[in-house]
Each structure stands twice: as C-alpha cells, then as structure tokens.
Amino acid sequence: MSQQRKKVVTDLINKYSSDFNYKNSETAIILAAGHGKRIKSQTSKMLHKIWGKPTVQRVFEACQKGLPKFNSIIVTGIKAEDVIQVIGNKNNNLFAFQEEQHGTGHAVQIALKKINPKKYKGIVYILPGDMGLIDDLTMKMFKREFVKSKTDMMVLTGMYEGNPYENSYGRIIRVKPVDDSGKPSGPDAGKVIEIIEYKDILSLDEKIPYVRKFNGKNYSYTREELIRNNEFNSGVFAFKFNYLVKLINKIKSDNVQGEIYITDLIALFNQNKLSVSAVSAKQQHVIMGFNNKSVLKEMEAIARKNVYEQIKDIIEIDDPEDFFIADDVMKEIIQADKKGNPLDIKIGKGVYVGEGVKLNYNIKFRKNVYIDGNVLLGQNVTIGENVHLSCFPGQKLELKNGVEILWNDIVKGNITIGENSRIESSVNITGSDDFPTLIGKNVTVKGTSYIFGSIIDDDLFIEHSVIIKKKVDKLIRKDGKVQDIKFFLPMPEGIDAIDDL
C-alpha cells in the first residue's frame, strides 16, 4: 500500500474516531476489513445495502440499540475510506485499520490495540460486518445469555438446513456423550471443544479420524461426520476482556489458509481451563452473511418480508414483493397506528418511500412512486404513477392537505404546494435554497409546464408554461374570473442559430 493512501486512511481514522469510554462495560468489535471478491463488485462487501442501509451500518445499529452503553471499534481494510465515511462520527466509536488481511484473529488483535488493558474491564462482542439482518433483539438475547452463563467465552451458533456440502461455515465440535474408550463424558457432554473451518475439514484424510482432547479424554470425528454437522459458527462471539486480551496473541496460523482464526480461541480457552459456551439464534436469518449476489438478494427479500409482516394490517400494500419503506418511516407508521385512528395509506406496486419522509392520513401512492428526503405530506394526498418527489439535504418539500400529483411528474427541491392544488401530468417543479418555489391553494398546473424558484398565488390555472423565478399574481378580470396563465415562455436564446427547413 502506498504511503499516500496510508496517510489518507490514517487522517480519516483520526477525524472520525471518538474517545473510548472506559466506564462502558461493553465493547463491540465489528470486522469490516474484507472486500469480498466473490461479490464481484467495485463496492465493498460491507457497503452493499440491506433494505436501504449498508450492512456494516446495520450491524453497528444492532449493537447501538441492543447494547445501550457501549464502545465500538470498527476494523477497516480494503475500501477503508468508504466504510469510515459511511459510519461517520459516532459517540465512543473508533476505527482501526487492517492494512493486510491475515484473518479474523489478526483483525481482533489490531482492534484490541485501541484499548488500554490496564484501564478496561468488561465484555467484548465480536461481529462480522456483513451480517445485515442482525437486530437489537438478537444482541440483547446474546448479552443476556452470556451474562447468565457465567462463562468466559460464548459463541452464537446457527443450525444449517440444506445440503451439508454447500455449508461453507465453520462447524461447532462438541463433546460426545462418551469418549473414544467408551467412558461417559459426564457433565462435559455437549461442551464446545472447538470450531473447525470448512476448508480445513475438506483437507482431512477420509480414512483418518480427527481426534480432539478435552479434559484428558479423546474424542474422534470422521471427515464425513464433521461435514454433516449442521451446527455452525455465525462469527459472533462474546468474551470477558481480560481473558481475550491475554490469549489473542497466542493464536497460530497452522491451517490451510495460513491465517489467524478467531475461532482458535475456543481451543485456547479450553486449554487454559476457561469456560466456553454456545447459544443458537432464535431466528436463523439474523445471522446470515453473504459472499455472493444471490445470497444478498435473498437477505433483501427476508428484510422486505419482515417489514411487510409488521405493517401489512396497518396500511395497504399492493405487492408484498415490490415495495420499499425506510426504517424510520415504518416506525412512524407503527406509532401512528397505536393512536387508534385508521391511517388509510395505500402503497402501490414498486413504490419507494425513503428516509425522512413524513406520511399522513389517507395517502395514496400509485405504481412506481419514488419519494425520498425531507418530504412532508398533508392529509388526503394522492400521488400518481411514476412520480418523483425528493429534495436535497437541508431542503423541505411540503404538500399540503388535498394535493394531487398526477403521473410522470418530477417535483424536486425546496417546494411548498398549497391545499387542494392539482399538478397534472408531465409537469416539472423545482426549487433551490436561494429560490424556493411556493405554490398557493387551489392551483392547477397542467400541460408540459416547468416551474422553478417562483411564487404562485392562490386559485391560478397554469398551462403549457415555463415560469422561472417569477411572481405570479392572482389577477381578477372584469368578468370576475381569475386570469389563466397559458403558453408563457421566457425569451428564447440562440434563435439566430435556428432556420426553417
């Protein structure tokens, strides 16, 4: 790696890292250094999105909500700059840099250098950064089970369903009911001996048993037995910090990959008479990670289904397999429902409701509506097919009660549209920070019209017009009717370059 890039990464780490709070008894280390070659993308594996958010951000938020008073250390590597800037400045969060990837154990070694062992006592949780479906409930459960177990290390495991030869996860090796001599294992039965990586299983000789020693007794496992073992390592661990920091540098790299595996800590803990336990996730999907696009797509489908199940009886969703509602919007829908009044919100097929959008009562989104950003909707608003509504950070787009936006319109920027106004098809409306667009009540805009940075009075009818940075007044004619605005166009430029054929 060039010195220039190393300096860039170091500067970013210094800029975005905050202080480690030694009073917090819990620390989460998130492993986000890998790029993921099999995902076949220029985008870092950690930045691929699950339901609108990068996976590493979802892992961080699960820890943030599940472990309220915690420190976090995010280990970056390939694409470090992108990962750091996505997470940004967070309280008690530090970034570490794994310049060369030598395994998960190596990444943890680098992370632990950020902690002064003389000043810290507590629990350390370790999570992979691609586990985009993990949630706060899982983290709360894992914390509760670890504390209750009174063990020194805990592994969060899963139970694989399907062809065992397609299970690339490391297998959990437990003590058998009897040892190789036929003697009962007693209270040791079921205890975790170690985790063996799938690639290391494949390298074993089919004819030679894999023998492990636990508390002076030998236990043998065939290659086929290990492959068919469906209990796998999720990559999520909990440790008592003092034991973790004592043993982390004793891991060896004598494996097929030549890497330092964090999973080898199980054997080290057992050898040092420290206790190791395991607990399985209540829902298997929460511990899914991904190495390819097909699994990522599967995780996205699971996330969508989870959202649908939470709100399917609160609002109407035309197609459960083709919609998006951001997390914050979904939570507001659930909170509004608790007030007891019917929401009467309808979401058409292909609708995208992004972060920051404020819904209201009796909202109808037709097919393929895209709405994102600080967009505030009044009551009884209808948005037609293929409409785009959005604004840039720091701006506000507000549709008052009774507004109707018809199909194929683009409404973008600093804009307010007054009550009962109707924006018909093929209209574009934009507004900037310096020139917001304000449209009054009962206004109709139709035809191939464009409005930018203008103020439009109430009760006006505008058709086939281009209005840029204008004040359009409500003019009452002699017959008492309001003057319509039709075919208003700015003075043309470049007319001398145009000739009749």
SS (H, E, C) 1-15: CCHHHHHHHHHHHHH
User: What are the E-state strand segments in 135-188?
Assistant: 153-159, 171-174
Q: pLDDT class for 2, splitting at 50, 70, 90?
A: confident
**Per-residue model confidence (pLDDT) at position 216:** 94
Best CA proximity match to 17, nearest among 104, 83, 101, 63: 83
Q: pLDDT class for 390, splitting at 50, 70, 90?
A: very high
Contact 482, 459 (CB under 8 A): yes
Domains of the chain, each with CATH number or no CATH: 1-149+281-292 (3.90.550.10), 312-497 (2.160.10.10)
For residue 36, pLDDT over 90 is answered with: no
Contact 180, 211 (CB under 8 A): yes
CA triple 345-349-355, angle to 5 deg: 60
Average pLDDT over residues 380-404: 98
**Per-residue model confidence (pLDDT) at position 253:** 87
Name the least confident of 57-61, 129-133, 195-199: 195-199
Gap between the Cα atoms of 233 and 202, Å rounded: 17
Average pLDDT over residues 167-189: 96
Q: pLDDT class for 433, splitting at 50, 70, 90?
A: very high
**Per-residue model confidence (pLDDT) at position 3:** 86
Average pLDDT over residues 120-147: 97
The answer for residues whose C-beta is within 8 angstroms of residue 148's C-beta and 6 or more apart is none
Name the least confident of 217-231, 344-358, 486-500: 486-500
The answer for residues whose C-beta is within 8 angstroms of residue 426's C-beta and 6 or more apart is 408, 409, 447, 448, 449
Share of the chain above pLDDT 90, in %: 91
For residue 65, how many C-alpha atoms fall within 13 Å in the half-sphere facing its CB?
A: 10
**Per-residue model confidence (pLDDT) at position 1:** 67
Q: Is 283 exposed, middle or buried (0-12, 13-18, 19+ CB in 10 A)?
A: middle
Express each pLDDT in 292-350 by its tens digit: 999 999 999 999 999 999 999 999 999 999 999 999 999 999 999 999 999 999 999 99
For residue 69, how many C-alpha atoms fall within 13 Å in the half-sphere facing its CB?
A: 6
Which uninterrupted H or E stretch holds 405? strand 404-405
Predicted TM-score of the model (pTM): 0.91
Best CA proximity match to 400, nearest among 384, 422, 371, 372: 422
Q: Is 470 exposed, middle or buried (0-12, 13-18, 19+ CB in 10 A)?
A: middle
For residue 14, pLDDT over 80 is answered with: yes
For the chain, the average pLDDT equals 96
For residue 35, pLDDT over 80 is answered with: no
The answer for residues whose C-beta is within 8 angstroms of residue 125's C-beta and 6 or more apart is 26, 27, 28, 29, 63, 67, 139, 142, 143, 236, 237, 238, 239
Q: Is 278 exposed, middle or buried (0-12, 13-18, 19+ CB in 10 A)?
A: buried
Average pLDDT over residues 468-477: 97
